[in-house]
A and B are shown apart, each in its own frame.
Chain A
Amino acid sequence: MAEKVLEIRDLHVTFDTPSGPLEAVRGVDLDVSAGELLGVVGESGSGKSVSFLATMGLLPARARVTGSVLLAGEQLIGASAKQMRSVRGRLLSMIFQDPLSALNPVHRIGDQISEMLRSHQNLSARDADKRAVELLDIVGIPQPGDRARQYPHEFSGGMRQRVVIAIAIANNPKVLIADEPTTALDVTVQAQILEVIERVQERFGTAVVLITHDLGVIARVADRVNVMYAGRNVEQGTIESLFDHPSHPYTRGLLASLPRPGKQRLKPITGFPPNMLNPPSGCAFHTRCEYAADICKGEMPPLVGFGDLQTACVRAKELPKSESFV
């Protein structure tokens, strides 16, 4: 297996709210290898975005972050603001969900890219501008030279997301975190953006973390998948194994709720995601799980090897074999 570039261990993120502490991330372990595309799936509020915002050091000051995040051997939790600034944009960069608001409306596109370049590389203004145009070309923007002089409002949503990607890859980072990069876009544009991300990943060998709630997107592009629920990872594995024989009941439920050809009715997961101010004891999914037993309410199950998957379910071995969703 390739070298690990990002290792997250026992990551906890707690927000102090007026109604008490809210633990949004409750002990996440996760590895990203060089050059791979890791998909992170989960419902809204499962802690997937928060985990990676914590990794980037972009959470507000009232968030308490503990655990360990090693990026190419460098510890990011507890790092100084200066150290984090040096990492952000150089080794680790991020694409955000809404391209319409992610770019500053009053600065030219080219300037927003060259700002990223010049903050980490010793480049002259002219060289940075030249490189910015090249980057626009790489992400597939036609007439990049003219487009660099335009403002965000002159770009469509898909084009703006390409610009955001160009900014993110400007310094050839080791890890690129894409937080729901296609959610705000049309389906046809979604496919184009995914292609751009894949192309970047292949061309520069960048490891990509694709955060999404869309399993269809994951199935198309990811090498490995990490399923999150209520601030914990519940299952990990390669895309083939996970879609072929999901073992955690939550993963099964997610896959069964997807529309597929020949299927008449969708089968939703019953109930609602838990209130994280007061999460259920033990396995947080037991309130909605059709296989739940008393043992599930006890302790939070850790991820353990189960066949070629890592599954956080104490009853994984006893459950009936799942149908395949390949």
Chain B
Amino acid sequence: MFRYILRRVAWSIPTLLIVTFLVYLALRIGTDPVASYKRINPRASRAKIAEYIDVNGLDPNFVQGYFKWLKNFVTGEWPRSIKGRREVWPALKDAMANTLRLGSAATVVGIFFGLIAGVLAALRPGGKRDVFINTSAFVGISIPPFISAIMFQLLFAVYWQKWFGESLFPTSGVYPAGHTGFDLFLMLKFMALPTLVVAIQIIATYSRYMRSSLLDVLNSDYMRTARSKGISERRVLIKHGMRNALIPVVTIAALDVGSIVGGLIITENIFSYPGMGLYFLKSFGEGDFPLLMPWMVVIVASVLFFNLIADISYAWLDPRIRLE
């Protein structure tokens, strides 16, 4: 197992190199980083432009340019953003922290309630409870986040203020304007609505995964064997049913978390939540190559990392899977 993990980590280095090269190519071909620089900084001198090309590895030769970029990236000589010459790392770090906070809160809440709803639905398939949970899940999946986000903003902020004189939850940002320092309560209040929007999607999706996975397991022969032992129904369900039913769900969950790091673009945008999604939208809109490349590296790395987590948890839950 340990050797497997080591090998996977070692393999992720060439994967990272290949994918970042492809991303570099895509950004070079799809956007024109030099033109973006000139557009944002119209009065930049020839020397400035040459320096910009040099530190970003924007040589006419893509391969040479990529390795130049890579060398600067690895040694920590990150070029500054084209707009305002900001340092990239602090901005990226803040965006990551904000997205991880929102993403993990929504994932924890979403998967927790999603699994409970799925189990409750599967225990009496076709019953009233099942129909209710299934229908709600269908509605939850069908409402796009930009609709539910706007509805929540209307309800908890606009109308709430109208009815009770004060809005219940703020609708944008992480802290009120001008706030400095850390304030957990305030932070949670600002996170509430975006978390709710994302969590509803996750609850809806996972209740359906869990329901079908558990139904499969409940109909299997080993559940009958377990019952024939005369052990309690609770034990049959938890020890024999849940562990098997969770195998596929956990794997999907690990992969999903990996993609959340990429930001919840729509939700973050509507709530002006400064996470990875908003970071990407802004820097992509401005063609800000120095901001975009490190963002891409983070995304690729997190997908690789959570793929590994998915494989390990799969092997850990299911003895039939051997990691070698």
**What is the chain A residue whose CB lies nearest that of B226?**
A104
> In the complex the two chains form, what is the Cα distance from A98 to B317 in whole Å?
24
Known contacts A56-B228, A119-B230: A151-B319 contact under CB 8 Å: yes
- Evaluate contact between A98 and B319: CB separation under 8 angstroms: no
- Evaluate contact between A88 and B222: CB separation under 8 angstroms: no
> In the complex the two chains form, what is the Cα distance from A241 to B239 in whole Å?
48
- Evaluate contact between A106 and B221: CB separation under 8 angstroms: no
Contact partner, A93, options B220, B228, B232, B243, Cβ 8 Å: B228
What's the interface size class on A, roughly? 20 to 34
**Interface SS of B by simple majority:** helix
Residues of A within 8 A of B239 (CB): 107, 115
Residues of A within 8 A of B233 (CB): 81
- Evaluate contact between B229 and A153: CB separation under 8 angstroms: no
Residues of A within 8 A of B319 (CB): 105-106, 151, 153
> In the complex the two chains form, what is the Cα distance from A61 to B221 in whole Å?
17
User: Residues 112-136 of chain B: 1 if any A CB is under 8 Å from the residue's CB, otherwise 0?
Assistant: 0000000000000000000000000
**What is the chain B residue whose CB lies nearest that of A85?**
B230
How many CB-defined contacts (below 8 Å) exist between A and B?
A: 71
Q: Smallest CB–CB gap between A12 and chain B, Å?
A: 22
Q: In this assembly, does B318 line the interface, its C-beta being within 8 Å of a C-beta of chain A?
A: yes
Q: In this assembly, does A135 line the interface, its C-beta being within 8 Å of a C-beta of chain B?
A: no
Residues of A within 8 A of B247 (CB): 106
Q: In this assembly, does B15 line the interface, its C-beta being within 8 Å of a C-beta of chain A?
A: no
Per the CB 8 Å criterion, the residue count for chain B at the interface is 22
User: Residues 305-322 of chain A: 1 if any B CB is under 8 Å from the residue's CB, otherwise 0?
Assistant: 000000000000000000
Residues of B within 8 A of A98 (CB): 221
Residues of A within 8 A of B317 (CB): 106
> In the complex the two chains form, what is the Cα distance from A221 to B244 in whole Å?
37
**What is the chain B residue whose CB lies nearest that of A106?**
B243
Q: In this assembly, does B6 line the interface, its C-beta being within 8 Å of a C-beta of chain A?
A: no
> In the complex the two chains form, what is the Cα distance from A81 to B320 in whole Å?
34
Considering only residues 78-100 of chain A, those with a C-beta below 8 Å from chain B are 81, 84-90, 93-94, 96, 98
Q: In this assembly, does A209 line the interface, its C-beta being within 8 Å of a C-beta of chain B?
A: no
> In the complex the two chains form, what is the Cα distance from A212 to B209 in whole Å?
38
- Evaluate contact between A151 and B320: CB separation under 8 angstroms: yes
> In the complex the two chains form, what is the Cα distance from A312 to B244 in whole Å?
47
> In the complex the two chains form, what is the Cα distance from A169 to B320 in whole Å?
27
> In the complex the two chains form, what is the Cα distance from A81 to B236 in whole Å?
14
Q: In this assembly, does B231 line the interface, its C-beta being within 8 Å of a C-beta of chain A?
A: yes
Considering only residues 82-108 of chain B, those with a C-beta below 8 Å from chain A are none
> In the complex the two chains form, what is the Cα distance from A103 to B319 in whole Å?
13
User: Residues 118-144 of chain A: 1 if any B CB is under 8 Å from the residue's CB, otherwise 0?
Assistant: 011000000000000000000000000
Residues of A within 8 A of B318 (CB): 105-106
Q: In this assembly, does A228 line the interface, its C-beta being within 8 Å of a C-beta of chain B?
A: no
**What is the chain B residue whose CB lies nearest that of A119?**
B231
Q: Smallest CB–CB gap between B1 and chain A, Å?
A: 16
Chain A residues with a Cβ under 8 A of chain B? 56, 58, 81, 84-90, 93-94, 96, 98, 101-107, 115-116, 119-120, 151, 153, 164, 167-168
List 30 A-B residue pairs with CB atoms under 8 Å apart, sorted by A's residue number: A56-B228, A58-B224, A58-B228, A81-B233, A84-B230, A85-B231, A86-B230, A88-B227, A93-B229, A96-B224, A96-B228, A102-B222, A102-B224, A102-B225, A103-B225, A104-B222, A104-B240, A104-B244, A105-B222, A105-B319, A106-B243, A106-B244, A106-B317, A106-B319, A116-B229, A119-B230, A120-B230, A151-B319, A151-B320, A153-B319
